[in-house]
Every structure is written in C-alpha cells, then in structure tokens.
Amino acid sequence: MGDTELELSPSHLEELQKSPSASSTSTTSSLSLPSSPSSGRHPFTSSSPSASEGLPASSPPLDVISEGVGELSLVIDTEVAKKACQEVLQKVKFLKSDGETTPASFKPVLVNGTAHNDSREGESGELNKPSKIGEEEPPPGSVKSARRRQKNNSSKQSWLLRLFESKLFDISMAISYLYNSKEPGVQAYIGNRLFSFRNEDVDFYLPQLLNMYIHMDEDVGDAIKPYVVHRCRQSINFSLQCAWLLGAYSSDMHISTQRHSRGTKLRKLILSDELKPASQRVRREILQPPAPCPPPLHHAPGLNEHGLSPSKRTHQRSKSDATVSISLSSNLKRTASNPKVESSQDEPVRLTPQREFIKSLMGIGKRLATLPTKEQKTQRLISELSLLNHKLPARVWLPTAAFDHHVVRVPHTQAVVLNSKDKAPYLIYVEVLECENFETSSVPVRIPETRIRSTRSVENLPDCGITPDQRASSFSTVPNYDNDDEAWSVDDIGELQVELPEIHTNSCDNISQFSVDSITSQESKEPIFIAAGDIRRRLSEQLAQTPTTFKKDPEDPSAVALKEPWQEKVRRIREASPYGHLPNWRLLSVIVKCGDDLRQELLAFQVLKQLQSIWEQERVPLWIKPYKILVISSDSGMIEPVVNAVSIHQVKKQSQLSLLDYFLQEHGNYTTEAFLTAQRNFVQSCAGYCLICYLLQVKDRHNGNILLDSEGHIIHIDFGFILSSSPRNLGFETSAFKLTNEFVDVMGGQDGDMFNYYKMLMLQGLIAARKHMEKVIQIVEIMQQGSQLPCFHGSSTIRNLKERFHMSLTEEQLQVLVEQMVDGSMRSITTKLYDGFQYLTNGIM
Amino acid sequence: MKSDREAMSQERKAGLLRRTSSSKKTLKEKVVLMYDEIFTKDDPAKSNPRFWDELFLMKVNLEYLEGKLESLDGDEVMVKENINSLFHHCVLALEDEHQIKVVNALQTLCALFRGVYQKNKSATGFDIINMLVGFDKAELRMKNLMESLDSLLCGDGSESLKSLCLKLLLCLVTVTDNISQNTILEYVMINSIFEAILQILSDVSSRAQHGYDAVVLLALLVNYRKYESVNPYIVKLSIVDDEATLDGMGMVVHQALTEYNRQYKDKEEENHGGFFSTLTNMVGSMFIADADEKLSVQTNEAILLALYEAVHLNRNFITVLAQSHPEIDMAATPVSTTPTTPTTPLGTTPPSLDMMHNPELPLDPNLQTSNLLITFLKYSSIVMQDTKDEHRLNSARLCLIILTCIAEDQYADAFLHDDNMNFRVNLHRMPMRHRKKAADKNIPSRPLVCAVMDLMVEFIVTHMMKEFPMDLYMRCVQIIHKLICYQKKCRIRLHYTWRELWSALINLVKFLLSNETTLLAKHNIFYLALQVVNLFNMFITYGDTFLPTPSSYDELYYEIVRMHQVFDNLYCMALRVSTNVGQWKEPASKVTHALVNVRAIVNHFNPKIESYAAVNHISQLSEDQVLEVVRSNYDTLTLKLQDGLDQFERYSEQPKETGFFKELVRSISLNVRKNVSLNTLSQDVLLKEFSSIS
C-alpha cells in the first residue's frame, strides 16, 4: 500500500496541493493564518463525518426521522451519495483498465480503499461496503480481468479517492475537478458528491454548475443534472433560480442550437413544474419496508436493474432518493401543520405566483422606459405599484433576501426611479413577513390599509360583518336594528374617525413646546409672553438641525430616498404599514433592472464574495460589500441595494463640499472618535476596492458608480466593464484603479499613517488573494465557457487575470508593485480626465 | 273635475289604441283590456285561470297602467284587492324562468309603484302599502320581492334584467319627494340589498354597466330616515373594507366626475375657440351672462352625495381617494358593451362606458396619472367658479364639506402631504380681468395638499361679491386651518407660496370691512374675521413648526406690516361694535382680542421702518429693506400666547347640516325620478336578447 502511494505522479501531487484546501502546509505566508482544515471549512467538516459515519450507525437517521423531517433528506443523501461515489470510482477503474494492457488486481484497490478509510477514520462499519459491492457486481469473471488490468492506475485513483473523501475536499475543489477532469467517472462521482455539501455552499457555485451543464460535454451535464433536479424538487426558489440562470446563460448560443440544447430542455422541464416533490406512489414505497434503514434496501434492486452505465444509474438512484426523502418530509409537514397545502390542486401553480410577481415587476420597468421624464416615471411607478399591492400578500418573495418570507405590501409611495439615461431601473421597498418556510407556511391574510377602523368594526358588530361565505349561501335578511344599539348611531361613526394611529391619542412628542404651554396656560389663565425672536431663531435652528437630508431634486429623485438612514426609513414605513405591528415584519429593498444584462454583475459579485471570504480567512481587514445579484434573463434582473449609501456624485452635488469636508460635516472634527472610525472604514474599503478594481480591471469608475455609506465606507457599484471590456474602448482609465487626491485627502494625505496603512492593507490583501488565486480564477474561467459577454472579449482574459496575481513575485517585489500602482494611480491624469469626461457628457461630478 | 279630465284622457289613449290595434296590434289591445279587467271585475283569474300567465307575456303599457291607477277611486275595496293580487303576481312572475315575464313583471311593478303613489300623494305611508300590497301580506310579499331582486342582481342572468332591477329600485326609492316619508322603504331596510349593490360594484364588467345606478341607489338608501333611526345601509357602508368594492365605488365616482370635467373642458374650448369667439365672449359677458350659461354643464349632485357618504361614513374609502386611476381596470374587459343599455343613465351626466374598462393604460406620455382626489379637486374648481345657480351652490357646498372630511382624516392628510406623491393638478380658474389665465404646463408637480390650498385660495379671491356665500367662506377657511393644524402637529414644512394665502386672506378682510353694513345685515362677519385672524396667529406663533424657511417667517411679518391698514381698520370696527350693545358685541370683542399679536407686530415694526427710512433718507423702502428691518428687530418684540389656536371643531353632520342634506336629497330624488325611464329600454332589444336565452 505504501508502495502504491509513492507511485503517485508529481503532477497529481501538485494538483492535490494546488487545490486550495489541501494546502494547509503549503507556502509560508507572511501573515499568520490559522490552519486551514479547521477554519473556513466548517460547512464541509461538519457534514462529512455524518456522511461517513452514517452507514454503520443506522439508528441515528431513524431518530432524525421521528424528530425533524428537515434533516432527513440530508442524512440519507450523503450516505447514499458517498456509497455511490465509491461505486462509481471503482467503475471508473474498470473502465480505465479496459484500455490498458497491464494486468492489475482489483483486490488491492478494494483493500486499499477500505484500509485507508479505516486508518483515517477507524470505522469498522466501512468493512460492510466491499462485500456489498461485491454482491452487486456483474459476473466475477469480468471483474477479475478488470482487477488484473487495474494495477498501475490504482495509485492515482486512490490518491484522488483519498482527496475526494478527505475533509479538505470542499465544494470549490469539487467544482474545479468537475470542470477540469476529463474522466466521466470522476465527474459522475463529483455529481453525486454534490449531494453531500451544504445547499448554501453549492448555491454559491450555481452559475458555474449551470454554465457547465449548458456548455460542456454530456458527461458533465449528466453528472450535474441529478443534483439540480433533486434540488429543484425540494425548492421552488432553487427551481426558479435555475430556470432563470439556464435561460440567461443559454442566450449566447445560436437560436437554432439553443432551442434544442440541454439547458433549454432542463429549463422547460423546470418551468413545466413537473419537478414536484412527492408522489403518492413513492410515499407508499417508503412506508412499506420495515422500519430500519430503508434506503439501502431500496437501492439494491435499483442497481441490478440498471446494469453498468454509471451515470444513468446514479441518476436514477439520486432521483428516487430525492423523492423519497422529500415526499416523506413534505407529507409529514403538510399533515401536521398546514393541511391546506395538502390538496394536490395547488401544486400545479407552485411556481406561478412568483413568476407572475417577477413578470409584473419587469413589466413596470418596461413601461416606465417609454416615459420621457423622471417625474412621469416616478408617478407612473407609484401608481403601478399601488395596483400591484392589490394582489398582495401572496406566496411570493424576494430572492435576494437571506431569510424565508412572504411579500405582504409594497409601500408604493416610497419607490424611486434611479438615474439612468434610457432605461428605467427603479428601487422599491418591500414589506415582508418572515416565516419558517415560504413554501409551506401559510400566506398572511391581507390587512386593509386602514386597519384600525376595520378591526374595531368587526369587534363591535359581529352580526353586521357579513362574510362572503354567508353572502354566497343565501340571501341575507338583516334583523331590524333595535335603537338601543347606540354604538352605531351616526355620531359614533363620526367619532370613530377621530380615533387614529398614534398621533391623535398620545401626541405629546408631536406637539411643540408651545402647544404644551398653551394647554397649561388654559388652567393658569395668566397670559404667557413669548419673544418673536425665539420663534424665528427656533425656526432657523430646526432647519439647520437636519442638514443631512438632501434636497428634493426632480431630476434625481433617488438621492433623497437613499440618503435617509435605513433604520429611520424602516421605522417610518413600519409605522405607516398595516402590517407593521406584526413581530415578524421586515423591510427589504430591491432594485429592479429591466433591459440590463446582470450576468457580469453576478460574476463580479461571486469574485467579490470569494475574495471577501479569502480575506476574512486570512484575517486581512479589508472591507468590501458584495451586493446580491439576481439574474432573471440576459436582459433583466434584480439587485440588492446597498443601504445607507449615496453616490459620491450625489454627495458632492448636494453638499457642494469636498469629500474631506463632507466627512468632517457628517462625522465630526479630525480628532473625534466618529471621524477616525469613518476614516479607518474609508481606508479599509478603499484598499479593498482598489484591489478589486485592479484584479478585475473594473472600469467606468466615475463618481456616480462609487457609493459612500454612512459609516464612511466606499462601495463600488456597476461592474458593467470588467476584465477585457472597457467603455467605448477609449483607452481612458489606464491606471490600475481610481485614487483621486480627494480620496487621499480623506486618508490624511500622502504622508499620513493612514495612507501607509492603506498601502499595507493592499499588500496584505494581494498576498492573501494570491494564495487562493485558483478559487478566484475558477469562478471566472468556468463562466467563460460559451459566453459572449464583453468581459471575456479576446483570448487572453484568463491569462491576464492570472498575471495580475503575480505568482512569481516575492513579497518584496509585490510591495514595490503596490507602491508603483498607488503612485501611478494618484498621478494618473487619466482618472481626472475621465471624471472630466463624465462631467461633460453625463453631468456626473 | 280633475279626475274626470284624466279619465277622459285615459279613455282617449285606450280608444286610440283600440282603434289602431283593431287592424294590427291586437296584443296591445289585449293588455289594455286585461288591465281594465283588473280594475273592474272581481277576480280576473276566475273567468280565465291563465289570466296572470298571459298578462306577463304581453308587452307592458306603462302609460296606460299608470294612468289607470292614478284615476282610480281609492275607496274601492275590490279594486284594492285586485291591485294586491297584481302585485302578488308580479312578485311571483319575477321567479319565472321566462325572462320576458320577468321583464314585464318588473315594468308592471314600476308602474304600480308610480301609479299608486301618484294617486295617494296625501295618504300616509301605511295606506299606500295597504293599497299596493295589503297590510297583512306586506311583510311577506316585500320580502319575496326583495329576495327576487337580490337574486336577479347577483345572478348570472342578463345584464338588461339587472339594469331593470336597479331602475325599479330607483323608482321605488324616489317615488316620494322626501325619501324619509317613503314608508315602504322600511321593507328595503329589513330586506337589505346592500350586498347585491356591493357585488355589482366589485365586479368590473357589472360595475361598468350598472355602477352608476348602483352608486346612486346606495347614496339614496343611506339617506332614508338618516337622522331618526338606525339605517342598516349606513351601518353596513361604514364597515365595508373589501378593497375591490371600495375601489369600484371610487371608480364609478371617478368616471362620472371625469366625464363632467371633460364635458366642461369641451364646452370651454368651444367657447374660447378663436379670436372672434374670445372677443364675442368678452363682449357677451359684458352684457349678458350668455357665455357663462353655455359653460355650465349641469352638476351631478347624486354622485357627489355618494362620494360624500363614502368619505364620511367609511374610513377605508379614504385610501381609494389616493388610488391612481387611469389604468386601474387591468382586468378583462367586459364581454360586450354595446347591446345592453341604450338608455340614458340616471342623473344628468352619463358616464361614458368605454372609459370604464380601459384594459391597459395607453402609453401616452402626456397622459397624467390621476386619482379620484385629483379629479374631485378639478371638479370642485369648476363647480366653485359660479355659485349663483342653486344647484351649483349646493354642489360647491357639498364639495367643501367633502374636503372638510378629507382634511380631518389622518390618513388622507398623510397622503396629501406625502412628499413622494407629487402631481400636477390643473385647477380651473375663473377668467378675471386683472389676471391672466395661468398656463397649464407651468404648474409644478407638488404634494396634493398644495392643490387643495390653491383651490381654497382661488375660492377666497373669486367670491367677494354682493351675494356673499358666507358659509362657503367659513368652510373654506376651516379647511385651511385643519390642514395647517396637521402640518404643525406633524412638523411638515410644506414648500408652498404662503404669501398668496396671506394676501388672499387680507383681501377678504378688506372686503368684509368695505361691505360691513350690507354684510352685517345677513351674516356674522366677525366669526369669519376671527377665523382669518386666527390663521394669522397660527403662522405668527407656531410658524417655527411648519414654515419651510426662516425667510418665509420674515415675509409673513412683511405682509402684515405692509397691509397694516386693513388690520387697523378691522380692529377699529370690531372695537366700535363691541362697545355698542347689540347682537355682535361678543363676537366683535373676540376679534379685538385675537388681533393682539398682529397689532403688536404692526406697532412694533412700523416706527422702526419709519425711522429707518428717515435715517437713510428714503421715501419708499424696498421689500428687501423692510425685510432687513424686520430681521433686525425681532428680539425686542414680545408676543402673547393665545389659547386653542390649533384646536378645531370636528365636522359633524348633525345637527348643523341636516337641513342642507334633507333638501339636497329631495332635489336629487326629483332629478332621479325625472330621469329614470323604463320605456327607453326598448322592448325589441330585450326580445332579441331573450329569444335566444329562453
């Protein structure tokens, strides 16, 4: 066994080490970094033991069944998937060996696999596996010959297998192998292995997975499809995300091929809504077998039926698995908590409400684009949204949110049209009610806008509130009202109108000091005198107290809305909302983009997110804010807005101050805690985004595309020009990133400590990013497949990207590089030139 | 004598019919013969068991039947029984599956109601019920009738039938001049058809066809014995919270008002067509009020009353006011719009049907997004222009009452002041000699409350006339006061040109002073003056809470100082009256007290300004110079805090407005009765429609 391990080729060793998570002992870094297996791998390490330990102990899963249904699917899946992986790997070995002439033995391999499992995890339960697999194998004769031919290859496979089964094997590596491996078996193995990762981890790579599914060969597709189908059955949200991404990433294909492509077919399948959880048949099946350990029993026949083709078999298996677990879970849930959902009639419309919701949002955007002025757009937007409100609440949600919820209301008057020349992106705020599961929790009941009146009426007049049901049943005869019922004399109705939210009942804080005085003066009857000068002074003081609100500008309606502090907005909207009193009320916001391709934005988001987690892992205090992107088609989507942030352009236009003066105005004087914190935030975010801009070659960096949040962070938005594309290819913005004198001023000048800190952060960030380069490259590289996006223009996109990580440089050389870039950017007249250009053409300061 | 003549005319009609029908129209003759039979024989069914069946198969001769009923001698017991029987069989026929019978029964019932009421005008309600239905059976018969009407209205049946049902109900409701004396409506109270009305309003297609009638019917029913007993329609209307229904109601009102505005605009354009017409218009208006006459499209009080009841009774309806409208009916268009009702709908301004169901808003960039409130404001601005005519005065008064209700409502105030809801509201302004008609396009897009303020200011400056509409002015000033109270309370700094309001108010005081003698004979002008002065006191003492800028506070002082003569005169006049003994003593002294701060300002700044002018040797100070003086002399000015400036009396219909509403409902009833016409629903159309159904 030791021998075989030694035979491993250097290339594989390298591959193993290159895979980021395996690099716990690799390159010495200047920064202390925690040993990687334990940190940052939590998702995997937590699920992997359960995967390998699940089999021997058959009782835990059963416990889980009796307790919570949610976990059940995971337990069974990982277990089965792991088994399947091993089978597939062995299959691979046979297939491989077919082509080779060297005699090989199967046995060592098997022993090998088991042995190393034992040695690593010390689980006797694993011993079951070989025998079981042996039983299932086709005629022994062929196996033997295969075994004989296997020998040489086995070492490589065992290494791979060890890697795949190791705790270090995470989703990033899985995606990488899926993409790079040319072996169908490995791909199929990984396809199965996907089941063992946490959903959230895989979701991050969903664009990559689907792009591979669309644009790569059939084996990859076959490996991915079972997982996707399985998840689609589980979740409406996932189904829709898949459908949207499939549509968007197929759009670059020729129409003719697109129509028959696998991506289009899968999309159709999902949208046909045939991928539903649970069918009656499957449920009966799992109920029949005696309690202990149903999945293995269930599998054995399946394997025999389907013979040798590994991909087909795994597909079948995972599918049945999926349905079993899902049906069980959903059935339990339905009967227990929400009997309404049980009716099979509401299943066909599983996806419809959400699709309709998105469709109407996009429709609004399209119609807005036809209107000439911002003012008309805003008015129209408000009225369109008020109509949308009539259809809410519904089983719809914002896919950009991090929690399950139902949308209950769109406070239409709060919506604003964003600045754009010919399209009409708009920002809406959405009131939602958090819930356990948006698919199964019941949709909230509609509460009319003026709830106080109606609740009151229902209480007082039980026999007058005629429900539609009563109405439908028969002609209603209203009893003669006895006149004793004074509660409903006309005057009382008038009085009810007086009773209104907060202000009327307890309005002390709303009444100015004077009114309080005036009330007390009634008692004392002594004349109270006031100075006219005080009134005038108070007026100017109060107006001065609120300098941070922006003035209303019909040409820039979003500025005011975005400037308002988020918490304040939430409070304000909550107060005005009929749903505001509910404890699970939340406010979300989303930008609806219609006519814009957000695929590049999504790519940038992924890269930013990846770098953010790398920096977090390497403890480099760089600050960036990846904002969520939802691609709905190749020309529409949604963006999660950055709250409490306005663009630097808006800041400068509204305040008429330099950036530094604005900081002083907003946060206080140089020495104040608030200013220093804001300054540090500014530096950390600036360094982060400078690196991003350099690595991704983000262009079109005018002040309208850089936001400043209330804590002093800058946030770059609009990644429409990255990698190989730049606006109009004018050759502007040749500097590495945007660093204006104003920025440097906020940092305290070129000689300040903060500026040095800034450069140091950049260096650390670059070193950290370099260490995990593969994880970044991988995201971009896979998305290049079959893509016509401008950011992939030309042939050298990936090579150039790799070069910008400067793998070959020493840290000292890197430091020099950073110095050079900072110097260059500061001195660069092109940045200034570009800002001037933007000012001339678009009026952006 | 009179009855003789009527009998003769009846004879003639019948005779005519007979003569012509003898050749061709035997059907008509037969129906008339059968009517005669009802009024002569013991029991028409005795000789012909199928008498009633046959009767309802024949086309109704409304005129004849009504006339016959009117000419009857009320004492004939036997006839009474036959009438009861006819009523009974009409009710029975309503449940017939033959639609023709239903139609005829509905029309016969209508004639019955009208005829019997016409005959027994002076009789008590109970006698009429006895005559029509028979006392012993009235409760059951009326219950059956209402149930049948309800199921017809709510069923999937013919639209024409529904229309007829509503007409019958309108006929029944308006059969007396004073709705509250119409005792038979007790049965409509007990057997509510409220739900049927709501259903019509909530459904898009039925609303388009019957919404108008339904809303008018509802408005009238709500006013049945409003102040004397508990009217279930009031109770129910006040608690409706179904948005589709409320929106539907709003839509009907919106359409009717829009239609009015459009007609007005058309007429206006007609009149101001070219140079010549403007010239003739000018000349014309100099001599005769012909141009005005042409411009006046008759107002629609019934729909306005419905809007009032909805706003006043139902708090949920307030939300409908702000609901944006042009594209509201996104739902499917009704199947067909043409065939059913070639009738002229009730009232005077028929809403055009095709506007009701606009499937999608045309993408016309010039098309302004509108809502019910905006339409109502425009309507009000037209109606308020001319209050000479009784109807228009009533309409203007009702408009102001509705605005009062709106201004008191917290939710309405919230959206009136919502900074995110900006609209251009093109109010109609009376053409006046001393000012040009503001170009429509220049109106900025502002929160809706600005339009309300504009409307109030517009009213104030255009109605200072001999026939001084005192109560309208009071309402107007109160509306402004309520809005300012809200702004003060919620610290809303409206960017409004307050100066226009100030100068309008000062001019109003000036007018009151110069017409003191004539006005005092009729009105308590001190009450109005007090309200106006208190508005200024609001600005002076609480300006810090709602004025938009410090300089607007300066401008307030500038305006007061500039017009100090008016305030001086008011003070003198009030002081004079208050020292005399008389009915105005107390209100006048209140005015003198209220003026304390205004006078303090005048007395404080006037000497300062004079000395400034003297020091700098300027005879006439510019505005900026005065403002400068004002700004630098605040600190030496002391004001007195006055009580209750930000308190107001809430609107209540009882008892102040009861008289107005009684008269209004009476006039609406008359108008509706005049216009409800069953004959116009052509029999041919119905026959055509039902021949395929049955």
pLDDT in tens, A46-102: 333 433 333 333 333 333 333 333 333 333 445 555 565 566 556 555 554 444 444
| Residues in chain B within 8 Å Cβ distance of A500 | 409-411
- Reported confidence tier of residue A117, pLDDT bands at 50, 70, 90: very low
| Residues in chain A within 8 Å Cβ distance of B493 | 543
Six token digits for residue B392: 């228009």
Question: pLDDT tens digits for A448-492?
Answer: 765 543 333 333 333 333 333 333 333 333 333 333 333 333 333
| Residues in chain A within 8 Å Cβ distance of B638 | 529-532
- Reported confidence tier of residue B646, pLDDT bands at 50, 70, 90: confident
- Please tell me the distance in Å from B440's CA to the nearest CA on chain A: 16
Cβ-nearest to B654 among A449, A491, A518:
A491
- Please tell me the distance in Å from A228's CA to the nearest CA on chain B: 37
Question: What's the pLDDT at B336?
Answer: 32
- Reported confidence tier of residue B213, pLDDT bands at 50, 70, 90: very high
Residue A127 has pLDDT above 80, yes or no: no
Average pLDDT over residues A673-700: 90
Question: What's the pLDDT at A839?
Answer: 60
Residue B109 has pLDDT above 70, yes or no: yes
- Please tell me the distance in Å from A662's CA to the nearest CA on chain B: 23
- Best probe of the A interface among B223, B238, B418, B632, by most A CBs < 10 A, is B238
- Reported confidence tier of residue A845, pLDDT bands at 50, 70, 90: low
CA distance A553 to B443: 16
Mean of all residue pLDDT scores within chain B = 80
Task: Check if the beta carbon of residue A328 is closer than 8 Å to that of residue A286.
Answer: yes
Q: Determine which helix (DSSP H) or strand (DSSP E) holds A639, and give its type and residue range.
A: strand A636-639
**Contact yes or no for B239 and A387 at CB 8 A:** no
Question: pLDDT tens digits for A334-371?
Answer: 333 333 333 334 444 678 888 888 888 888 888 888 88
| Residues in chain B within 8 Å Cβ distance of A511 | 489
Distances (CA, A) of A156 to A4, A93, A150, B332: 8, 10, 11, 67
- The answer, yes or no, to whether ipTM is higher than 0.95 is no
First-last CA distance in chain A:
69
Residue A166 has pLDDT above 50, yes or no: yes
Task: Check if the beta carbon of residue B44 is closer than 8 Å to that of residue B51.
Answer: yes
Question: What's the pLDDT at A497?
Answer: 35
| Residues in chain A within 8 Å Cβ distance of B368 | 379
Question: What's the pLDDT at B18?
Answer: 45
Question: pLDDT tens digits for B396-432?
Answer: 999 999 999 999 988 889 889 987 778 888 888 876 6
B663 CB near a chain A CB, below 8 Å?
Answer: no
Distances (CA, A) of A683 to A646, A690, A756, A759, B571: 18, 10, 10, 9, 67
Question: What's the pLDDT at A610?
Answer: 92
B243 CB near a chain A CB, below 8 Å?
Answer: yes
Residue A198 has pLDDT above 60, yes or no: yes
| Residues in chain A within 8 Å Cβ distance of B234 | 490, 493
Mean of all residue pLDDT scores within chain A = 68
CA distance B147 to B156: 15
Question: What's the pLDDT at A547?
Answer: 47
Most confident range, picked from A557-566, A629-638, B282-291 = A629-638
- Best probe of the A interface among B95, B143, B190, B195, by most A CBs < 10 A, is B195
Question: What's the pLDDT at A221?
Answer: 82
B233 CB near a chain A CB, below 8 Å?
Answer: no
Between CA B564 and CA B573, with CA B570 as vertex, the angle to 5 degrees is 140
Task: Check if the beta carbon of residue A45 is closer than 8 Å to that of residue A167.
Answer: yes
Amino acid (1-letter code) at residue B455: L
Question: pLDDT tens digits for B295-306?
Answer: 455 678 899 999
Average pLDDT over residues A619-628: 91
**H-type alpha helices, A370-485:** 374-389, 451-460, 468-473
- Reported confidence tier of residue B222, pLDDT bands at 50, 70, 90: very high
Q: Is B61 exposed, middle or buried (0-12, 13-18, 19+ CB in 10 A)?
A: buried
Question: By mean pLDDT, which of A243-257, A799-813, B9-23, B372-386 is the weakest?
Answer: B9-23
| Residues in chain B within 8 Å Cβ distance of A513 | none
Scan residues 485-504 of B and list those with Cβ closer than 8 Å to A.
488-491, 493
Between CA A642 and CA A653, with CA A648 as vertex, the angle to 5 degrees is 125
- Reported confidence tier of residue A504, pLDDT bands at 50, 70, 90: very low
- Reported confidence tier of residue A317, pLDDT bands at 50, 70, 90: very low
- Reported confidence tier of residue B434, pLDDT bands at 50, 70, 90: low
| Residues in chain B within 8 Å Cβ distance of A449 | 316, 319, 411
Average pLDDT over residues A789-818: 85
Task: Check if the beta carbon of residue B377 is closer than 8 Å to that of residue B455.
Answer: yes
Average pLDDT over residues A577-593: 89
By residue count, chain B amounts to: 694
List the single residue in B with minimal CA-CA distance to A500: B410
**Contact yes or no for B637 and A414 at CB 8 A:** no
Helix A236-250 to helix A206-215 angle (10° resolution) is 50
Question: What's the pLDDT at A555?
Answer: 66
**Contact yes or no for A480 and B190 at CB 8 A:** yes
- Please tell me the distance in Å from B323's CA to the nearest CA on chain A: 7
Six token digits for residue B54: 């046959």
Question: What's the pLDDT at B594?
Answer: 92
Most confident range, picked from A498-512, A532-546, A655-669 = A655-669
**Contact yes or no for A532 and B414 at CB 8 A:** no
CA distance A688 to A761: 8
**Contact yes or no for A370 and B365 at CB 8 A:** yes
**Contact yes or no for A518 and B641 at CB 8 A:** yes
Average pLDDT over residues B573-585: 88
Question: pLDDT tens digits for A2-30?
Answer: 343 334 344 444 444 444 443 333 333 33
Question: Of A712, A819, A810, which Cα lies nearest the Cα of A756?
Answer: A819
Residue A599 has pLDDT above 60, yes or no: yes
Residue B227 has pLDDT above 70, yes or no: yes
Question: pLDDT tens digits for B493-515?
Answer: 888 999 999 999 999 999 999 99
B441 CB near a chain A CB, below 8 Å?
Answer: no
Question: What's the pLDDT at A123?
Answer: 40
Question: pLDDT tens digits for B331-371?
Answer: 333 333 333 333 333 333 333 333 333 334 444 444 556 78
Q: What is the CA radius of gyration of chain A?
A: 32
A41 vs B570, which has greater pLDDT?
Answer: B570
Question: What's the pLDDT at A55?
Answer: 38
**Contact yes or no for B543 and A383 at CB 8 A:** no
Torsion of CA A411, A414, A415, A419, to 10 degrees: -170
List the single residue in A with minimal CA-CA distance to B243: A448
Question: What's the pLDDT at A71?
Answer: 36
Q: Determine which helix (DSSP H) or strand (DSSP E) holds A609, and give its type and residue range.
A: helix A599-617
Question: pLDDT tens digits for B128-160?
Answer: 888 888 888 888 999 999 999 999 998 887 888
**Contact yes or no for A386 and B323 at CB 8 A:** yes
Distances (CA, A) of A222 to A92, A160, A184, A191, B596: 15, 21, 9, 8, 90
Question: What's the pLDDT at B487?
Answer: 93
By residue count, chain A amounts to: 845
**Contact yes or no for A475 and B644 at CB 8 A:** no
- Reported confidence tier of residue B101, pLDDT bands at 50, 70, 90: confident
Question: By mean pLDDT, which of A762-776, B8-22, B441-455 is the weakest?
Answer: B8-22
- Please tell me the distance in Å from B473's CA to the nearest CA on chain A: 23
